[in-house]
Amino acid sequence: MPEKPSCRTDEGKHFYGGQAVIEGVMMRGTDRYAVAVRRADDEVVLGEKSIESFSDKHPWAKWPLIRGNVSMIEGLVLGFAGLQFSADVLAQEEQVRLAEEAKAQAAQEPPGSPADSEEPAAEQPEPAGLGPVLMGLTAALGTAIAIGLFVLLPTWLVGLLMHKPAEGGTYGQDVVRNVVEGGVRLLVLVLYVLGISMMQYVRRVFQNHGAEHATINCYESGEPVTVANCLRYSALHPRCGTAFLLVVIVVKIILGCFFGWPVLWLRMLIRLALLPIVAGIAYEIIRWAGRHRDSAFSRFLAAPGMLMQLLTTRRPDAQQVEVAIQALAAVAPEVSLPDGITPARKLPLPLQAQTAEQPPVAADGQTEG
């Protein structure tokens, strides 16, 4: 059966959204976000936490152009929190598995063996995963690499290959350089995505990305959010971050043409200074396209971004869609878990550190199992 396309949305309805994480999906609602993760033993666990948007306290943060930057920053913060939770869940499960294997191996040792005479080491709590400090450093390094690869490298490369003569050039030549820079930026992005997609766990993340989109598409269509229904919907969505990146590239080309092609240091400074403006404009375009999905002009604007998503999404399986439904149901009161899906076990978010000897701790503070 062919998959259903994404659907028309109500202007006044809240737009749920999220992102893929490691073996799971994060969904954001009006006042909370939730991360559902499937463990290696097939159990689904869920972490949820209330959120208070910066724009709720400061009405000016909802102004056009400003709200895009606020939303982007909040999305990055929640995205890293979701990734850390998923990494912590899987790392904690692996820690417990290794401890159980060590116990089993020790039990097989004959009495009086050297291992039997050693003093047992005191059990020390260890971080469940990367930890907030290391995760923060990882985020900072990732941001720096992204700016270097997708903002600074293209303009340096085009300046090297299309050197501007000392006597200057025409404005038309400057426009061509800006267009070529945008093309190089797009090429770098595509090559980067293709490169990381060679890794198996990234392909799994792309499938979870598709599960998030299919679940949101099903919800926005008004159909009951069930696994069977979600699997009939497209894994592409016009409000996706991948589409946002493509719009950013186009907007940067247009704005860059107004500044010509100055010397390298000034050009790089301009590119960095324009980032908030570019992000704000791109957000407004994506927001408008998402709210007018039945418009022919909106579909025209969204088409390139939807094509880009073919690189960052894959068709999900039923288990991945089930995880996405668990996350959506946790933040959307109007969505109930369909029959046959067992409610996920709740864990605190962020996940608490524990020793290998401690049983998992539920969100209410009670030990599980």
Q: For the segment 173-191, what is each residue's pLDDT rounded down to a tens digit?
A: 999 999 999 999 999 999 9
For the chain, what is the mean pLDDT? 85
Structure confidence at residue 60 as a pLDDT band (50, 70, 90):
very high
Burial 146-171 (b: 16+ CB within 10 A, else e): eeeebbeebbebbbeeeebeeeeeee
Q: For the segment 69-100, what is each residue's pLDDT rounded down to a tens digit?
A: 999 999 988 999 999 999 999 988 888 888 88
Structure confidence at residue 134 as a pLDDT band (50, 70, 90):
confident
Q: For the segment 188-238, what is each residue's pLDDT rounded down to a tens digit?
A: 999 999 999 999 989 999 999 999 999 999 999 999 999 999 999 999 998
User: What does the pLDDT read at residue 283?
Assistant: 93
Contacts of 266 (CB under 8 A, 6+ apart): none
Report whether 13 contacts 335 (CB < 8 A).
no
Instruction: Give the H/E segment covering residue 346.
Output: strand 345-347
Structure confidence at residue 121 as a pLDDT band (50, 70, 90):
very low
